[in-house]
Amino acid sequence: MGAARMGDMKLYTIILIITSLCMLLGCDAQDSFDKIQSEGELVVVSRNSPTTYYLAKDGPTGFEYALTGLLAEEMGVALRIKTAFNLYDLFTQLSDKDADIAAAGLTLTEGRAARYPHSIAYSQLTPQVVYVAGNFRPRSVSDLTTMDIVVLAESSHVDTLHTLQKNEAADLTWEEIDEADTMQLLELLKLGQADVAIVDSNEFAVQQSFYPRQKVAFDLYEEQDMVWYLAPDTDNTHLITFINTFLERLNSDGTMARLREEHFGHSDGVSRISAHVFTQNMRQTLPLYRRLIRQVATEYQMDWHLLAAMAYQESRWDPNATSPTGVRGMMMLTKPTARELGVENRLDVNQSLRGGARYLKDLKRRLPKRLQEPDRTWMALAAYNIGLGHLEDARVITQRQGSNPDLWQDVMQRLPLLQESKYYKKTRYGYARGKEAVTLVQNIRHYYSILVWQDIPDNQPTPPLHSEDYFPEGINNFRLQTF
């Protein structure tokens, strides 16, 4: 009996040791892909920022949100987004297996790769040194040794600075900011609490609109890969294979390019001076007309941010604006268009806004039904500038050249061809200032993006939040939950 009891104790001890080792090593008998499918949800941890994930008026949005949403749809599961308010928290959630994937605009580093499995690269970015125009502009790492530098804690930029400190500039020092969003660094620059900030090129391109006096001093390091990281110490073989195949296909079939264009395309083409002027007008002039713009937008069932962006592009929110060509008012309507819309006084801000909203809605209605949002809106905005006939000519050219006439990113490349005789001579409606139309649309998209982001209280989500009823555009086949 004693021997049997001793044997049981030995067996219990062995089991205890194995169990303890498994707990320490993170043993997981179930494949992570199978686990996600059996539980019916993909849990993604991300950062709250304009380039990754945030809550807009109509629900969750952002590049990483849309991309992981497509992945969840393909896996046949729901998407659950969790937010991290600094990078340490983000990787902690991944290590604790509170999330399956970290999708947050993260670069591939040796240290991270040694700890966390990762996907193939799905984009690239460049670390940049940003400063305030008018102040001293550093042009090399050696110039940074006497400057107050801010960088996000736990970011890949901290590793880069340590490497530079060791190999090039021993006197290099910096302050690590315990946040998840680059905007916090740019805010410190704006307040004069730092001389330079180290940020990623993609994030600065999007957020520079909020800080038009800030510029890139120089690229700190070479281009780096952006990847998704997976929970460590588990069997991710199937999941990584699935993700990599998914990303490769999105890159090859144009979906990735379309997502980038949708979320970041508007950041191109607006000058720093224009962005600065817009920011001033947004603070000083927009409050005078915001209530009326919102009221008109509600009447015509459109996003007030879009109507406001259109009005700014047309007139800089000036109800008495007049152009040399005779278009007048806040929405800069021509006489024939105003007559058609029933606008008696183009300088009456109420009539002008309603006329512009009605005109855009009519243009959208007259476009082919197969055009989807947001391309449908961008096409209608182009037609607002040059007319439906010229837009159709550009779409025909697009199709002739083997691209998609229903995608704004393809059509916008052909609109300028309407100014070249070898192209417009073969069109139905002839010459048009197509490049001007492209500039108008891209500017409106840019202003719209700024207005949307500024309208989000504190630029932060309000956890916990259930949003089963919110669906990203183009993703209609999976149930979404956000906590």
Structure token digits, residue 159:
């590793």
Distances (CA, A) of 331 to 283, 303, 309, 320, 350: 20, 16, 10, 10, 10
pTM of the model: 0.61
Q: What is the largest CA-CA distance in the chain?
A: 107
Task: Give dist(CA 306, CA 276) in Å, integer.
Answer: 19
Contact status, residue 60 vs residue 54, Cβ threshold 8 Å:
yes
CATH number of the structural domain 272-454 = 1.10.530.10
Reported confidence tier of residue 418, pLDDT bands at 50, 70, 90: confident
Contact status, residue 321 vs residue 330, Cβ threshold 8 Å:
yes
End-to-end CA gap in the chain: 55
Contact status, residue 296 vs residue 353, Cβ threshold 8 Å:
yes
Task: Give dist(CA 388, CA 403) in Å, integer.
Answer: 19
Q: What are phi and psi of 104, to 5 degrees?
A: -150, 30
What is the set of active-site residues? 314
**Per-domain residue ranges of the chain:** 32-122+226-266+466-482, 127-222, 272-454
Task: Give dist(CA 228, CA 299) in Å, integer.
Answer: 43
Q: Cβ of 65: how many Cβ atoms within 10 Å?
A: 25
Superfamily of domain 127-222: Periplasmic binding protein-like II (3.40.190.10)
Indicate if the pLDDT at residue 368 is higher than 60: yes
pLDDT given at position 478: 33
Same topology between domain 32-122+226-266+466-482 and domain 127-222: yes
Taking alpha carbons only, the member of 164, 165, 172, 194 closest to residue 182 is: 194
Torsion over CA: 333, 336, 339, 340 (sign) = negative
Residue showing tokens 């603070």? 283
Mean pLDDT calculated for residue range 412-421:
87
Task: Give dist(CA 207, CA 129) in Å, integer.
Answer: 14
Superfamily of domain 32-122+226-266+466-482: Periplasmic binding protein-like II (3.40.190.10)
pLDDT in tens, 321-351: 887 667 889 998 888 888 888 899 999 999 9
Q: Cβ of 325: how many Cβ atoms within 10 Å?
A: 8
pLDDT in tens, 245-296: 999 999 999 899 888 877 777 655 555 556 678 888 888 999 999 999 999 9
Contact status, residue 475 vs residue 70, Cβ threshold 8 Å:
yes
Which residues fall within 8 angstroms of residue 103, CB to CB, at 6 or more apart? 44, 45, 46, 52, 64, 67, 68, 228
Cα angle: 312, vertex 317, 323; to 5 degrees:
85
Q: What is the mean pLDDT of the chain?
A: 84
pLDDT given at position 477: 37
Q: Cβ of 29: how many Cβ atoms within 10 Å?
A: 8
3-state secondary structure of 417: helix
